[in-house]
Structure 1
Amino acid sequence: MKSPLGLNAELPVWDLIREALMLLWGKRADVLRMFLPLMLVLATIDWISSFWLAEDAQAGRLLFVLVSSLLSVLFATSCHRFTLLPPEQWDGNALHGFGRDEWRYMLRGIQIAVIAIVICFSCMLGLMLIMGKDQAWLAAALAVLPTLYFWSRLSVTLPELALGKQSDLKRAWAISSGNGSRLVLVVFIVPVLLASPFLVMFFSDHAVLGYIAAFGTYLTTLISLVMLSLAYRFLLDFYADADNLPIADTREDSDKSAQESASKDGGFDA
């Protein structure tokens, strides 16, 4: 994608990682206040579901999954608002009511997931017809690549829905034009790498390690959601038909906060 001046809008992925970390550290007191309670709740739900529910308790597991999914939507939408809006427009806490914007966000996420599943199975079946059923594993692996590409490009306007704005898949495709591979890094590759130490812990049968793994996964998810929000803001600057959104430029704030914190003793503000 090019700007109206003909400039290339290439996502600076590594700069986004750095900016996301600086933003979260610079506003760590707000991060603790807004997100720590919900991350503890989500980690507890996953921990109970994994370590304390009987294997045949399918109804109980389904209930836990539904509750976790609803709370995860609150977590995601609050994180997008925290990153993109001025402080006076933040949610008081990530644990808040489930409104219209949250429902729209969840439905869009389901829509994107369904499209991704259809793409994955279609590509896998097509490759199996070419390579044969004996190469089903290779067909499945190759089918993941276009799936991640489409999923990442369509996810770029999820932050816009969290802000209460109208956004469709056509707009997502337009905004993300020319940045498919970079968005795969932002949406999938970098988050998986960040979460990998905690994902390894899930293979342990130790209950304490299981809880640390669940909490750490949500901590890295927070970083990933900030990165997606920053990627959306960057691409929106190059999109000629973008609406005038009340998006705060957090780069200056995060740099200022980081400089102020450097002059103080370390540690999180309680």
Structure 2
Amino acid sequence: MKSRLGLEAELPVVDIVQEAVELLWEKRVDVIRMFLPAILILAAIDWASQHFFPGDAEAEVPVFHPEQLIFVLASVVLSILMATACHRFTLLPKEGWNANAIHSFGRNEFRYLLRGLQIAVCCVVVFFSVMMSLMALVGPERAIFAVAVAVMLMLYIWSRLSITLPEVALGTKSDLARAWSISKGNGSRLVVVVWVVPIIMALPFWLAFMAEDASGLLNYLAAFGIYLTTLVGLVMLSLSYRFLLDFYEGEEQSQQPQQPQSQSDDSSFDA
């Protein structure tokens, strides 16, 4: 995608990361008020799931207990509520925060879930298609090569399509074709924003959470850290979306998603 002047945007990854951290720190009072309860609950859900349904280290295949589905559903619902609120927190003016903070699961949250499932299905189809095709060409003995290529392509596609998620959270109608268009030329940079930086930040917490000899308190703190770094990742994605939208569509178009449409959209779904 090119601007009216025929230029292509180059996403400033380092500046995006720095701005995301600075924004959360400068607005830490609002961040604590809006997101700390959700993060504490999400960490408690993960801790409870691991505590009540510990995995078997000797089992070749992870054992899934049907009762864990309750924890999974609760985590997914609350994660979506936090993600959509975080996008609105980053992109809307301050007077729109309270009205668009974490609330009941409404239309925009449902659309956000569907868009996430769309992206996941597309990426899974690409992953298995590429992996099986490459394995047919290079042979099963080079399966690692086929898997590596399929994973890299999947992450590339996932990152480019994810740029549409902040738009959906704001209540703006969008599709995957628009996401692919607006992210053109920034696929590798978006991989860094969506995957590389968040994984690097969360890796110490993941290692602590998965440690077999970790105490219950350490597991909880590790889960808390994972969701805290996830918040940073959501802000980075929102800032990336705003940068690309401002570059390609100008200041006037970039203000359109900031209409508080979510209030009217959610009214029919609120309890």
TM-score bucket of the superposed structures, by smaller chain: 0.7 to 0.9
Task: Output the amino acid matched with 2:26.
Answer: G
Q: Structure 2 residue aligned with 1:234, among 240, 243, 253?
A: 243
Following superposition, the deviation at residue 244 of structure 1 comes to 4.2
Q: 1:22: Cα distance to partner?
A: 0.7
8 A Cα contact 1:2 1:238, kept in partner: no
Q: Which moves more between the two structures, 202-211 or 179-188?
A: 202-211
How far apart, CA to CA, are the structure 2 residues paired with 1:94 and 1:244? 19
Structure 2 gap segments, 5+ residues each: 56-62, 260-271
User: What TM-score results when the alignment is normalised by the length of structure 1?
Assistant: 0.87
**1:100 alignment counterpart:** 107
Structure 1 match to 2:72? 65
1:38 and 1:94 in contact (8 A); partners too: no
CA distance in 1, matches of 2:153, 2:205: 27
* Cα pair 1:176 1:235 within 8 Å, conserved: yes
1:20 aligns with 2:23: no
1:130 maps onto 2:137 in alignment: yes
Find the counterpart in structure 2 of residue 210 from structure 1: 219
Partner of 1:245: 256
Q: Residue by residue, what CA displacement relative to the aligned partner does 1:137-156 show, whole Å, maximum 9, x if unpaired? A: 22112210110111111110
1:77 Cα offset (Å): 0.1
Q: Which amino acid aligns with 1:245?
A: Q
Contact 1:78 1:91 in 2 (8 A): no
2:230 to 205, 209, 221: 221
- TM-score (normalizing by structure 2): 0.87
Looking at structure 1, the residues matched to 102 and 257 of structure 2 have their Cα atoms a distance apart, in angstroms, of 23
Cα pair distance change 1:219/1:93, threshold 3 Å = farther
Q: In the TM superposition, what whole-angstrom CA distance separates every residue of 1:87-111 from its partner, at most 9, and x where no partner exists?
A: 1211458542110000000010011
Cα offsets for 1:214-270 (capped at 9, x unmatched): 10000000000000000000000122495642549xxxxxxxxxxxxxxxxxxxxxx
Q: Contact conserved, 2:86 with 2:234, CA < 8 A, in 1?
A: yes
CA distance in 2 between counterparts of 1:43 and 1:90 reads 24
Name which of structure 1's ranges 55-64 and 127-136 shifts more when overlaid on structure 2.
Answer: 55-64
* Paired residue type of 1:17: V
CA contact (8 A) 2:35 2:82 kept: yes
Are 1:35 and 1:93, in contact at CA under 8 Å, matched by a contact in 2?
A: no
- Please give the alpha-carbon distance, in whole angstroms, between the structure 1 residues aligned to 2:47 and 2:101: 20
**Aligned match of 1:79 in 82, 86, 111?**
86
Tell me if structure 2 keeps the 8 A contact 1:33–1:93: no
1:132-177 per-residue CA deviation (whole Å, 9 max, x = no partner) reads 0122222112210110111111110100010011000011011101
CA distance in 2, matches of 1:93, 1:168: 22
Q: What is the RMSD of the two structures over their aligned residues, measured on CA atoms?
A: 1.8
* Residue aligned with 2:201, SS: helix
| Contact 2:39–2:228 (CA under 8 A) maintained in structure 1 | yes
Identity of aligned residues (%): 58
What residue in structure 2 maps to residue 188 of structure 1? 195
CA distance in structure 2 between the partners assigned to 1:246 and 1:180 by the alignment: 23
By how many angstroms is 1:57 displaced?
6.7
- Choose which of 138, 150, 175 in structure 2 pairs with 1:168: 175
